[in-house]
Amino acid sequence: MTDALFVLFAVVSVGGAVGVVTGRSPVASLLFMVATLASLAGIYVLLEAHFLAAIQVLVYAGAIMVLFLFVIMLLNLGHDYRADLRFGSWSLLSVVVVGLTASVLVQGITGSEADAFGGHLADPAAAAAIDLAVAEKGAVGAIADPLFTDYVVAFEVIGLLLLVAIVAAVVLAKPRGRSEDA
């Protein structure tokens, strides 16, 4: 059952990803993207990361993608069907290069027989510890606890990051005319 679901989600997510790359308009790409994000959320569930699955849908598919959509609409690109996919030799070359890169990467990750990927890594204890934490503190609590203790600095940096993003977005997206009187 789990495996079948995984295959399903995987197929959907890859299909969505291909759709993003090949989508004829930004909106199409965006919708494919949403499909991918959603199926990834499904996979997160399969991987027992329920909280992440939730915010994946909420934040990513919900907020960020909508932001994209807003911008597409704002710039009136919704019906921009001009071909912007590079066809021909460029694409071919790109596919070859990226394919090579991916295969090298996969080959590297897989490793040699003796050091078969995953075999060495599979540490049931870790999964058990996570499950235990989730059981004790709930899906949110299991993440929140280390987040606000061990990773509190990172959390603060995230805060600054968002602040900077806001400032930057405001400064950059402001229409030109009005800033000049500053």
Partner 1 sequence: MTSPALAYAADAAVAADGWVPVLPGAMVLLPLLGFVLNGLLALRSARDSSAALRAGRDWSPLVGDRRPATHTLPTWIGPGVMALAFGLALLNFLGMPAEMHDPVVRSYWGWVVTGELRIDAALQLDQLSMLMTLVVTGVGFLIHVFSVGYMRDDPGYPRYFAYLNLFVFFMLVLVLGSSFATMFVGWEGVGLCSYLLIGYWFSDREKSDAGKKAFIVNRIGDVGFLLAMFLIFGAFGTLDFAPIFAGTEGQLAAGGALVTAITLLLLLGAAGKSAQLPLHIWLPDAMAGPTPVSALIHAATMVTAGVYMVVRSSVLYSLAPTSQAVVAGVGVLTALVAATIALQQYDIKKVLAYSTISQLGFMFLAAGVGAYTAAIFHLVTHAFFKALLFLGAGAVIHSMHHAAHRSHTDFDEQDMRNMGGLRRHMPITCAVMWVATLAIAGIWPLAGFFSKDEIIWYAAAWAGAESNPFAGPYAAFWALALLTALLTAFYMARLMVMTFHGESRTGEDARRHLHEAPGVMTVPLVALAALSVFGGWINVPEVLRSSFAGLFGALPMTEWLHHWLHPVTHAATSIQIAGFGEAAKHAPLGGGEATWALLSTLAAAAVVAVAVRVVGSRKFQPASLDSGPEGGLRLALYNKWYFDELYDAVVVRPVVALSRWCWRAVDNRVIDGLVNMTGSVARLAGWTTSLFQTGQVNMYAFVLTLGILCFLGAAVLL
Partner 2 sequence: MLLDYSSSLHYLLALLPEAVLAAFAMWVLLAGVSRRRSGGLGKETGWLALAGLLVAGVANGWLYSGVAEGGTAAMIAVDRLRLFANWVFILGAGFAIVVALPYVARQKLQAGEYYSLVLFATVGMMVMAASRDLMLIFLGLELMSIAVYALAGYNRRDRRSAEAGLKYFLLGAFASAFLLFGIALLYGAAGSTNLHAISEALSAGAAVESLLGPGLALLTIGLAFKVSAVPFHMWTPDVYEGAPTPATAFMAAAVKAGAFVVLLRIFATGLGTLHAEWSGILWWVSALTMVFGNLVALVQSSVKRMLAYSSIAHGGYLLVAIVAANETAAAGLLFYLLVYTVMTIAAFAVVVTVANQGEGGNRMEDYQGLGTRRPVLSICMTVVLLALAGFPGTAGFIAKYHLLLGAAEASLWTLAVILALTTVVSYWYYLRVAWYMWMRDPPAEGRPTDYVITPFGTRVALVVSVALLVLAGIFPGAALEMAENSIRGIMYLAAPQAGAAGP
Partner 3 sequence: MLAPAIYLSAALFAIGTLGVIVRRNAIIIFLCIELQLNAVNLAFVALSRHVGIEGQIYVFFVMTVAAAEAAVGLAIIISIFRHYETVNVDKFNVLKW
Q: Which residues bind partner 1 (CB under 8 A)?
A: 86, 90, 93-94, 97-98, 100-101, 104-105, 107-108
Cβ-Cβ contacts under 8 Å for 161 (sequence gap 6 or more): none
Token digits for 81? 């069907």
Task: For partner 2, give the closer residue by CB, 76 or 112.
Answer: 112
Residue 99 found at the interface with partner 2 (CB under 8 A): no
Task: For partner 3, give the closer residue by CB, 82 or 181.
Answer: 82
With contacts defined by CB under 8 A, name the span among 18-26, 29-37, 65-73, 161-169 that binds partner 2.
161-169
Indicate the DSSP class of residue 48: T
Task: For partner 1, give the closer residue by CB, 98 or 129.
Answer: 98
CB 67 within 8 A of CB 51: no
Angle between helices 26-46 and 2-22 (to 10 degrees): 160
Total residues binding partner 3 (CB under 8 A): 87
